[in-house]
Amino acid sequence: MIPRYAPPAMAALFSDEARFATWLEVELLATEGWSALGVVPADDARACRDRAPAVDAAFVEAVAERERVTDHDVAAFVDVVQQAIGQPEGSWVHYGLTSSDVVDTALCTTLVRAADLLVSAAEGLAAACERRARELIDVPVTGRTHGMHAEPTTYGAKFSLWALQARRDVERLRAARERVAVGKLSGAVGTYSNIDPSVEAHVCASLGLTPVPATQVIARDRHAEYLWACASVGATIEAIATEVRHLARSEVGEAEEPFKPGQKGSSAMPHKRNPILSERLCGLARVLRGYLSAGIEDVALWHERDISHSSVERVVLPDASMLTLYILEKATGLVDGLVIHPERALANLTEGSFGLVFSQSVLLALVAGGLSRDAAYRIVQRDARAAWEERRPFRAVLEADPEVTLSAAELDDAFDLARTLRHVHRFTDALEATDR
Rg (CA), the chain: 30
The sign of the torsion formed by the CA atoms of 10, 14, 18, 23 equals positive
Q: Name which of 137, 33, 189 is nearest 431 in CA terms.
A: 137
- Is 278 designated active site? no
Active-site residue flag, 146: yes
For the chain, the maximum distance between any two Cα atoms, rounded to a whole number of angstroms, is: 103
Helices (DSSP H) in 253-307: which residue ranges?
A: 276-297
What DSSP element (H or E) covers 152?
strand 148-154
Within 10 A of 62 (CB to CB), how many other CB atoms are there?
Answer: 19
Q: Which amino acid is at 370?
A: G
Of 31, 172, 25, whose CA–CA distance to 107 is shortest? 25
Query: Which among 193, 198, 266, 308 is annotated as catalytic?
Result: 266
Nearest to 294 by CA among 271, 272, 319: 319
Q: Could you give phi then psi for residue 115, rounded to 5 degrees?
A: -60, -35
Catalytic annotation, pick one of 146, 271, 303, 423: 146
Give the span between the Cα atoms of 98 and 318, in whole angstroms: 23
In terms of Cα–Cα distance, which of 210, 148, 139 is closest to 179? 210
CA–CA separation, 382 and 402 (whole Å)? 13
Burial (CB < 10 A; 0-12, 13-18, 19+), residue 327, is buried
What is the C-alpha separation between 269 and 257, in angstroms, rounded?
17
151: nearest Cα among 374, 427, 415, 434: 415
Q: Look at the chain and count its residues.
A: 436
Catalytic residue numbers, as ranges: 146, 266
